[in-house]
Chain A
């Protein structure tokens, strides 16, 4: 009792000091003490809250803004391309062929940009970001100094604007942000890195390479340099314009379409090329008096034995590494439960991570993922990674980055994930280096053999319009087959429309097949007679394509 009296008193002291008591994070071993602490909070609620300092709202906005920038924009994720199935590759090849026929100049322009970028080892530029409203009024949003090299390293300093003074660096080993006005340095893992500064040359050229359409629409002069204006229509989303320097064949400026009455234009007001980024800019050095805030929960270790000792199991290690790759690091992560093996290609342009931990929960694949097999086990295939479940959840921030794909599965009491900014074929090579059984990535024909008992009529024109609407950012749930099935089943129960909660829970829907083109969702519970819902990506067969119900099986 004495001990509890003391703990309760300390709890009150902590609240009086306006600090978070440790009991808010860790459970106490006494239900009575929990109840008394709860009572303290209730009594205390009669007091007026202690409000933060006057500058709190400003600080809040700054920190929130920065964290939002840290998080990958879902907009990008939506437009990203789902690779990985033979059928989809065929569609992509067809699109390329059609583009080539329609826009014969396209490949030349992109090829010229690619070749020019191959020659670039590093560059230094000043970027301006200008916002234009409907009246044509322009406001300078920010000025930014950037250094970047062809190995993905960069140094970015905000010269003007909302985040003036903020420095973000990724030297390939770690990533950090120096907040001068807050006296803090945030440290993150170097990969995966959701931060991409706008108009990074390599990304810009990649986007152009993957575009659905690209055409020359005129000439202009930008920052005193002659440029060709290209209109780029990405896979999904609004078209935008890029200005290509006629002399260097590299992007100088980009202008997005006007969205919500606002348009952004990003320009290199100056750019010069060099052999490397100055070493001092890529060296981590905590300024005197600054606090380091480590957001990287990984612990690097020297060898597999150390990792095994910390995580409590011996990990599988690739027997034969795919050609051209070397091991980069070994770390223990996710509350020291998961082991993370990182590999890089010899040119350091690609990275692959193998994550593994003891399986604690039943395997549940992401609802938007394609389902394949590793041996006889279901595998979740994401390209790009859209949801981080299971071992992916604790291993870093993977979801939302257009160029990262993953395969996750469970086997003999362990959960594994292989993630990388590489092709699906390369990921499979890594899996085959640790798994005994072959990997199966489904093709478009497999599910087609499963026919619904009752077919649902589809209005293709209406679906085309729906796809356009989703491309414009509306109803993103149509990209999730489980959600589409939930709405379909709910409307079967309440044909007049759904008010409030859906009559069928999302949790009662289980995706049993999905090859990226066809999907089947199984429905449990006794509220509906629908047992299986059959869906198809009718308009576009990639991760930006909407799902449409084409049939169902009654009980």
Chain B
């Protein structure tokens, strides 16, 4: 559990405190980001950016933080949104203070768990071949060649099957929204 003054010390540039904050909160923050980006490389980078932004923000603004992890997740969410906005060339920056940290973190957990349930249900509605391809390729991480060997189909067929399976899933999930 972080002591209240650890954040204060980190804001004053105390590196031991930065280390303490990172080691006690990184996993929740990293998991939150990974959930959104689904790859380790990007999750590690955004986690790092999150801590730099969050601690710089605290240096600039003497904010009292009650929900450390919630605050860090909010900053992470801002970075992700910013990134997605930039990708879409809209280019507006998100104001860190405009989002309620606690609310975001809580809503996100609830939403994530409901979404997992929806995805499982959607997978059940795929035909046997499509479900198998999605499970092997996406959930178990097999390559196209390995998947083709397992289900005894051509690689091109695996690609077609996974494309159609994802189209079906996207349509089911969209109708659920």
Interface residues in chain A, defined as those with a beta carbon under 8 Å from any beta carbon in chain B: 1, 4-6, 8-9, 12-21, 24-27, 32, 35-36, 38-47, 49-52, 56-58, 60-65, 67-69, 71, 73-75, 131, 141, 161-163, 259-262, 473-477, 500, 506
By CB atoms of chain A within 10 A, which of B44, B116, B162 has the most? B44
Which A residues lie within 8 Å of B26 (CB)?
A: 56-57, 60
- A458 to B141 alpha-carbon distance, docked (Å): 67
Query: What is the 8 Å Cβ interface bit string for chain B, positions 137-161, against chain A (1 contact, 0 not)?
Result: 1110101100000000000000110
Pick from B38, B56, B137: contact of A71, CB below 8 A: B56
Contact: B14 with A16, CB < 8 Å? no
Looking at chain A's contact residues, the main secondary structure is helix
Contact: B52 with A71, CB < 8 Å? yes
Contact: A24 with B87, CB < 8 Å? yes
Contact: A45 with B35, CB < 8 Å? yes
Which A residues lie within 8 Å of B61 (CB)?
A: 476-477
Pick from A12, A39, A52: contact of B170, CB below 8 A: A39
The reply on B81 being an interface residue by CB < 8 A is no
Which B residues lie within 8 Å of A36 (CB)?
A: 163, 166-167, 170
Residues of B in contact (CB 8 Å), total 68
Which B residues lie within 8 Å of A474 (CB)?
A: 62
Task: Compute the total of residue contacts between A and B using a CB distance below 8 Å.
Answer: 180
- A19 to B22 alpha-carbon distance, docked (Å): 23
Pick from A4, A43, A260, A477: contact of B134, CB below 8 A: A43
- A12 to B140 alpha-carbon distance, docked (Å): 11
From A47, which residue of chain B is reached at the shortest CB distance?
B139
- Jot down 11 A-B pairs with beta carbons below 8 A, ordered by A: A9-B144, A9-B163, A16-B143, A20-B37, A25-B83, A75-B59, A161-B15, A259-B12, A260-B9, A260-B12, A475-B62
- A67 to B47 alpha-carbon distance, docked (Å): 13
Do A64 and B18 contact each other (CB < 8 Å), given the known contacts A39-B173, A43-B139, A260-B8? yes
- A38 to B141 alpha-carbon distance, docked (Å): 17
Contact: A18 with B40, CB < 8 Å? yes
Pick from A14, A73, A131: contact of B59, CB below 8 A: A73
Nearest-Cβ distance from residue A400 to partner chain B, whole angstroms: 9
Contact: A41 with B37, CB < 8 Å? yes
The reply on B119 being an interface residue by CB < 8 A is yes
Pick from B21, B22, B100: contact of A500, CB below 8 A: B100
Which A residues lie within 8 Å of B143 (CB)?
A: 13, 16
The reply on B79 being an interface residue by CB < 8 A is no
Contact: A68 with B18, CB < 8 Å? yes
Pick from B37, B40, B87: contact of A26, CB below 8 A: B87
- A294 to B27 alpha-carbon distance, docked (Å): 29
- A13 to B159 alpha-carbon distance, docked (Å): 12
Nearest-Cβ distance from residue B127 to partner chain A, whole angstroms: 16
Which A residues lie within 8 Å of B169 (CB)?
A: 39, 42-43
The reply on B5 being an interface residue by CB < 8 A is yes
Contact: B51 with A8, CB < 8 Å? no
Contact: B163 with A8, CB < 8 Å? yes
Contact: B62 with A473, CB < 8 Å? yes
Pick from A8, A18, A473, A500: contact of B162, CB below 8 A: A8
Contact: B30 with A52, CB < 8 Å? yes
Query: What is the 8 Å Cβ interface bit string for chain B, positions 29-47, against chain A (1 contact, 0 not)?
Result: 0110011111111111101
Which A residues lie within 8 Å of B38 (CB)?
A: 15, 40-41, 44-45
Contact: B13 with A73, CB < 8 Å? yes
Contact: B56 with A68, CB < 8 Å? yes
Contact: B119 with A45, CB < 8 Å? yes
* Other A-B pairs beyond A8-B166, A49-B34, A260-B5, 19, CB < 8 Å: A5-B162, A5-B163, A9-B163, A19-B40, A20-B42, A21-B39, A25-B87, A43-B123, A43-B166, A49-B43, A50-B40, A51-B30, A56-B44, A60-B48, A61-B22, A61-B23, A63-B48, A74-B59, A131-B14
From A25, which residue of chain B is reached at the shortest CB distance?
B87
- A47 to B35 alpha-carbon distance, docked (Å): 9
Which B residues lie within 8 Å of A163 (CB)?
A: 15
Nearest-Cβ distance from residue B130 to partner chain A, whole angstroms: 12
Pick from B37, B88, B159: contact of A5, CB below 8 A: B159
In the A-B complex, the 4 residue pairs with the smallest Cβ-Cβ separation, listed nearest first, are A18-B40, A61-B19, A49-B34, A20-B42
Contact: A44 with B139, CB < 8 Å? yes
